[in-house]
Amino acid sequence: MYTQALNTPFGDPEDDDAERTARFQARIDADERIEPNDWMPESYRRTLIRQISQHAHSEIVGMLPEGNWITRAPSLRRKAALLAKVQDEGGHGLYLYAAAETLGVTREELVGQLLTGKAKYSSIFNYPTLSWADIGAIGWLVDGAAIMNQIPLCRCSYGPYARAMIRICKEESFHQRQGYEIMLTLAQGTAAQKAMAQDALDRWWWPSLMMFGPPDSQSQHSDVSLRWRIKRFTNDALRQKFVDATVPQALHLGLAIPDPDLRRNEATGHWAFGAIDWAEFRRVLAGDGPCNRERLATRQRADADGAWVRDAALAWAAKQRARDRQAAA
């Protein structure tokens, strides 16, 4: 546990110390965990703050596309499951903000970066949920891709992030299964229901592959993140793992993956897939996806609408403290 006095301020001149950096790298190479008040290079701290906060923002914004269907879920069972899932995503955001705060930022600063559009979040959440089948596709594909990304993060070199990820991964597995169950039910239903499931797969497949980030040849942060053991696998390796795991699941559903180039390489056992439209990825990330403005506006509205509640709670707490002091005097 840590006290305020122990928090290393930003821009410590010691940070560029080559000897300390070498010792830090040796700890990483020995697979030791770095804890909040241990010395760390400033760039390691900044990298983690960026990654963990973007991850947290993604969980929070990720509540919106699914929240869109809570009131229209087709049964009470589906509705209860979807509510629980969306509530989990909110919880995951909070675990992650708490992990980021151990690096010397406040949650308020991080949320501020989201609300002003300064911070990024996963581009997948800028796509709309047009039908109930999209809830199935999100659970199956989007949570499936997220789990693929997150499992190696459970062994991330930064202790608080790794511990948050362990908890998150434990909770996520229900998300993927409930999504696949929705897809399975639709795929075995009427022709119209099966078409709805196919349409959802058609729209979510490529954005899900983009969730793993740019190809290794273009990824700015991969090398350093691997050296620091923040990441354990490259974007392309994880993407391939996801495709290999997901194609047989689609076959089982009797649905077609919207990629004419998809074929199994008999020699390697891997599924080769077609070219990803990285121009679309960059466009959505830069703010021009179908729902970017709506997502941000919704978060800004939620923050503004909730301000009086936060203010009232703080005012009440201050009043109670004053009363307690008076009573004690």
Phi, psi dihedrals of residue 197, rounded to the nearest 5°: -65, -40
DSSP at 6: G
- DSSP result, 114-158: HHTT-S---GGGGS---SHHHHHHIIIIIHHHHHHHHTGGGG-SB
Helix (H) or strand (E) holding 253: helix 235-253
In whole angstroms, give the CA distance from residue 147 to residue 80: 22
- For residue 263, list its beta bridge partners: 272
Count of residues that bind another protein according to CB under 8 A: 42
Map residues 221-260 to x or -, x wherever contact with another protein holds by CB under 8 A: ----------------------------------------
CA 85 to chain centre: 14
Asked if 303 is part of the footprint of another protein (rule: CB under 8 A), the reply reads: no
Residue 110: closest CA among 39, 153, 51: 51
Count CB neighbours of 114 within 10 A.
22
Residue closer to another protein (CB basis): 268 or 320: 320
Those residues whose C-beta lies under 8 Å from the C-beta of residue 188, and which sit 6 or more positions away, are 194
Asked if 288 is part of the footprint of another protein (rule: CB under 8 A), the reply reads: no
In whole angstroms, give the CA distance from residue 169 to residue 144: 11
Residue 225, helix vs strand vs coil: helix
In whole angstroms, give the CA distance from residue 120 to residue 56: 10
Judged by CB under 8 A, the stretch of 40-48, 60-68, 100-108, 206-214 that binds another protein is: 100-108
Binding residues among 76-95 for another protein as defined by CB under 8 A = 84, 87-88, 91, 94-95
Residue closer to another protein (CB basis): 21 or 131: 21
Asked if 105 is part of the footprint of another protein (rule: CB under 8 A), the reply reads: yes
Residue 45 CB, nearest approach to another protein (Å): 12
Judged by CB under 8 A, the stretch of 209-217, 239-247, 261-269, 313-321 that binds another protein is: 313-321
Contact 49, 223 (CB under 8 A): no
Asked if 323 is part of the footprint of another protein (rule: CB under 8 A), the reply reads: no
Binding residues among 150-179 for another protein as defined by CB under 8 A = 159-160, 163-164, 166-167, 171
Out of 6, 22, 192, 279, which residue is the one contacting another protein (CB under 8 A)? 6
Residue 162 CB, nearest approach to another protein (Å): 9
What residue ranges bind another protein (CB under 8 A)?
Answer: 1-4, 6-7, 9, 35-38, 84, 87-88, 91, 94-95, 98-99, 101-102, 104-108, 159-160, 163-164, 166-167, 171, 310-311, 313-318, 320
